[in-house]
Structure 1
């Protein structure tokens, strides 16, 4: 049974009221939980229990895997139990279970003592160790084992086990003899007679019945894996000792044995309770169910001894009585008095156990923690008392969960984000200007045909433009796959009618796409043709529903269905108006956003294999190699300039500050943390530094600029010979260094753009949540030519841990039992993300709080913090730019409509065409648009 917080889950028994109702009103309706067989009188108790089972707080009792709900843990236990019982040797199950069945046996401590007092083992590890020692060299008839002969291993089956002193009997049938009758065979000795008696020490058992002295007759059932001088044919029999035999470790080992015993036995929580084989398993393998009286007395004796021992520890010693005082004659107790005394002893024992648990818990809390060297594993890092006193953030700031299309269905937001990112990165080969994520969302919500949305039209034409360069399948997979579909009651149009209508659309879409000069008119028809030539029901499950929506007036069909007519095949009397046709151009705007996203995402998946996309990716790799080489050369040149500046200062006799030079050299030699800051030349004010660099680089360059100005002032004030020439040379070198810095800034921006084709998260936090920042990748720039901030998504995205990382967290929870508690404390249950869940930070204040929450002592968060630090100014600038744009849009929308309540616009339902045309996404134009040639690019 699964466990919750280390306690086994107990099923809810029917209440006494419910049992009473069973007799009075057997037809009363109740709530039944089929997975567990529990019965509840009302929905509230049923719902409460189901919520308890659905919480991710249970642990599989067999594997130890945690972070599961009750049903997942129960399924895991059942699967592991089936696998375990199929692997564990069947011949070994009975002897092992008989060995562990509620027998009092000596513990390791008792074995080492001279006397033979028996004790019950409380830890399953001790029990498994004892059983493994007894059975590791003892084999039984029917087992499959490995036998080693002349250095080769063979797979064999044990036919007969011969105890020490017995004669190995030949398996061949003896010949008939004409002489006297053969003597009667000797009485066979018992095989492993006392192997399971754990009351006797292992040395004593082996002395009486040595397992290594047994001879086993085995039958070869497999040939060796490698050729050798000796060959044994299958079914050949040999006699061999236990020392040359071994079991498969997947069938018998300490870990397998532990799992088998743990699955088959149970133990009461009371002190000194023995291990007991579960009744159903005991009956199956012939294990005794009723405890013998001698064993029961032994267990009771041990229990009384433990109670007396704990009582002595917890109770202070009494004052010694005077020796001259005569002993009082004890009164003989009655049965009632004896029962009362036993009850008091049980209560006292329970109190002592509770006290001992409290002491153990206190000792665990006060135990000295292990020394951790930083940076270390993030989950090993906790806030110190000093950090708590300094109000170091202990809880991650709240995430915004208001994501586009997040509530429509599972995976819709991810497809939406993936599609925009693909269009954003590969805008150049697609001949498509970039647009913001917000504009893309608004365009997908555009639901009127009165005003054409240019952004959606250009996106589809751009994708179809690269898809026609593929070797399109001329067998039209959409038609073929739809032919294999059967009509269902939910289908609005018969498949044959749909196929006939599809054939009339997009016959020449790959030869001539709609032109930009014509406003891409007719692109919806080309889309139907593109889907017809590239999609299938198997690769695009929504194909039939989407095409039906584009080609037919589904609302009218559904209305006609209500009159009783069913437009399926076989209804020849169907009126023509039963499935009225429609044009894709009129139907696409009202297509549900989830289907629009599904179409674009599918086209993006196809486009990734297109030739223009592959050429662009190869070109990006080449550019990255060139940029890396150029960065190395620039760093060398900057180092030379810094050294030359120090040499110029030294020639005129001024003392140069090595700290200043080294700091600038380090800044100049950086290959990974450059930014777009400019180093001001002499005569410029400090505020002339551009606002688009990283915080670290701005600080370092401002300090370097101060150092340069200080040296130039010293040179100007110096009266030494050559000071004026040195000043001019120093200014010249400073100008050259600033030029190299500007070039390095441009390289860093280009490097981020080109590396976007291999998109990776910026890093992971302590709980393996992935942090994404999508701006400045591929076709998107962070700043324009005038130095103004440009945005793509304009926010920081947080995604839950991946599948592999989740397994790491589960393993950590099973071992340390600290992950779930820490996540509840440091993330709060409301903002804990699963692997398919997302959140965002959309304000500068949220970003600052998130940055402060990250720990520099952890490996993952240190790397993440470095990446955020490099691009921090750009991230914050993008967030502020998005906020400003949204405020401007809201202000403009509020002017003509005074009754606005701040909710999202319905895009065209209540606004005129002129008002709709003023929307940001409607003002977007494709500056990279090209009219595709007839033969394709």
Structure 2
């Protein structure tokens, strides 16, 4: 059944209609009938929400109809694939089970039936010789446990009568020699079968019930036992609560002193006598006065009543809040400011003083609107660099290459990026030339040719029309005044839309000449041939943009780019396109790259890479669990060994030495125990962590006292360390006390120490392997960029090296010596919903916030962000100084939900972030001698050994191309991955095949043929 919010969809009850001629609306999938059209539309809107789940497959985010069809398909697959012989026994076992979680139920049933077989089931029998033969179970006999003479019991034995298919013979085998084929009975199949055939009500302790049609099919009793019904469970719960109230009842703050009694069913009387008889009851004072002095207690009570009653005690102070809470609910701190942000743009969202930073002079050419595109494209190209066959590159080199590349300054990084991305969109001719993306259809402009073809075929069409009878006209509905007006309005709207579209098309055609440029140029065919030279890839991009402009989603941006590349006042030639692309503004360049990078996400190569990474991550997680299990086992063994050592030598001080009594091994008689085991240090750390966890829980209630305790504990720890060091210094010259051991104890002690050392090496190896697997998991996590977290103003913080790539880029990259990839923390503003809901909220909430904290949220944001803010998700700032990372961590308040998580992430990666920021500064300030890139020693030390001829060829090419641009860092980058895997760059054609050397025999034959031809010519 289809689920909505994890519960089955409840259909509407049938409508009671008096008149059979009433017009109704029907939903065939649910059988619901509606008399009112608005109700029908409302129900259809509900069913078309993408909030439904398919119960069988578990797919979510579907409409009701998609989930319904998916369940039908999944149900048919389950019925066809699940073994028929197991359906009845499994359903009988599942009936009335009270296991709450489906996963636990599946595990329980699977473990019970995995080695149990039933008549009619196809199995595999292992014969005595080891041969495996397919067979069919005919009968099953189970023998219970038998009593042995020594009083023990044997295990139950099951024998199966199996009909062998190959020989058509019958044989009796036990469960040790019988089994199923792999994939016949799995947990996934069992889960789907249970989901399809079993239901469970939504209350705690509800039993699993087989659906009625399956219960009738397999003759399963559906009568629920009384103790499993909801009313009985409810009654038991009420009785238990009543008993708890009676047994835990207290009077005047004193617990009952007598024995626990069952609750009385009769109502208690209102007399004081009944209250007096209750154990633990404290009598009023006027009863005591009456019994002592004989004075009437009533008069004393009246005198007390005349006295003025004391004022009620003040209410107790409200308990302190339990942290974490909402970040903006915390009061602002005086003098606490976030580090100032920097901006990679010429139009920052706030007015700041111009500062020359590492991006100068490029920041004066970049718009804020394209900073996000820069980050998106750089991240995509580096995460999927193996798919694109690109060396990884730093973000600074990417910005520089996109900015400085021109006709006079060719940049290999710029050309390789575009060509490698284009290659992913269309396969080469050798690979079949298949287009890997979905493209809109181009309009047919061959109307003249079509008209000629139509004229030639008019006569045949006329003959065909004479022979074909005309269909009868359908009766038209009644034309009313409103319907005629509606038709007229629709006609006028269609004409206006067509006229507007035609006007826009004509205006666009007048603005660009892309249509003329593509008239005799098939960009897909040229892309198949990898025709990238002499402006080829630039023209291919124009063709791609021209075809994408026919799609409404890409129309606006593609037309804007085409106006820049093929304007109306230029000739539509390939040379002009190449020239215009070399002069293109950097903002338009990154927009082009963003469009084609987004298209690669549709390709089979990228999607297959994502799936491979997902499977690899699953394998890594299993390996991590196995290494953690081995580590835990080794730690337990070390603890046991340490206990044995302490039993052998009790109260051993770390400064003591152990003296063995064996005289022949004098050197081994004194064994120091100054170095404690690693496992003891880990125990100490675990204890500290537990104390910290408990302290954290206490700090929520009484933070000042907890801070004091923490400081006292730290001071005490430091005092003990100093005393220990002092005692060690005093005892250096003293003769060490020794503990004498027998030779047998010495041997045992030495063996224990060796075992401890061996286990510690295993633990160290497990920790190293887990760390490697954690890093591999981080690098394989490529589908999406992970955010570090959000701050109190809902700004998002990114460190792009966090996942999907090595921390410093590929180690085989030509610029691996930089040892960083991005090197900055990027801050993105809040999205529109967060900004409207939390920052620029309604006036009432702003006034309420101002009354509480003497400032609005916007004013607090401007103050605490130190004059450098980002206000929308399309605005970006960055932090590049190592000291600013420390200041940012100090500024974050761990008492808030958002900043607690962000602070934790920043603390975990702080050392790496700071290191990469330092590497970035060192790289940007490094020696800028790129004119001799080919012979740069630093590059040679950080590259893999390649073929000497290839290195010389690439080096000479770079020297020839860029003799005058020695100041550009991006020119140091080379695409060594393409050179190693393809033998050439993406932007260059493949080298011609080598001429095969002829053998001596072929040389002799060719020489003889040459002599004979010469003789014949002479004779002629």
Normalising by the smaller structure, the TM-score range is 0.3 to 0.5
Instruction: Report the TM-score when normalising by structure 2.
Output: 0.42
Instruction: Report the TM-score when normalising by structure 1.
Output: 0.46
More helix by share: 2
